[in-house]
Structure 1
Amino acid sequence: SFQGGIRVPSYTASKHGVAGLTKLLANEWAAKGINVNAVAPGYIETNNTEALRADPDRNAAILARIPAGRWGEASDIAGAAVYLCTPAASYVHGAILNVDGGWLAR
């Protein structure tokens, strides 16, 4: 979560910690030819989000805020990860790629 959350300070802090470490390591390792980037997923269909998806009201509220209008799938994350592992991303260092259906773009 790159947004502040209510009642989830440890979760929010851990996500920001990953972002900070990504940028720190990218700066330290880029000169060695090592790319360090991160993928920041939005709401993805997983066991962790099953209860949210099963609750009609919460599911509708979440979907209303995702410009793509759907929950993400594991393949959405995989595509981003594959890109970051290809030569096409050889000059990408310290990026945090949001794979969130446009959630953070609103």
Structure 2
Amino acid sequence: MRLTMATFLAAGLAVQAMPASAALSGYWDSSKILHAILGDNRLADALKQQPIERIEKTAEGYEVSSRDCAVQVKVTSIAPDHPGPTRHTISIGKGRCQQ
């Protein structure tokens, strides 16, 4: 009995010491992407510094709109080759504004 209990304790401690290999949940992954987009000064310039009114998911990423402008943001996801979160790069398109 004593050997079995020690074995279970050792196995439990070993599992806790292993690094996390799961990717972020869908919510946290999209939150990370949106924070990167909204923190990019190029987006503000493309929207002519107007307040954001809408963010829509598209096939390539997101479309961010203000009252008079819309900007396509392309998101490229890079799966890691080791345990850890997915990396993302963003490309801010040219703003399309009403005159």
The TM-score with structure 2 as length reference comes to 0.26
**Larger strand share, 1 or 2:** 2
The TM-score with structure 1 as length reference comes to 0.25
RCO greater where, 1 or 2, for CA within 8 Å and sep 6 or more?
1
Q: Which has the larger radius of gyration?
A: 2
**Larger helix share, 1 or 2:** 1
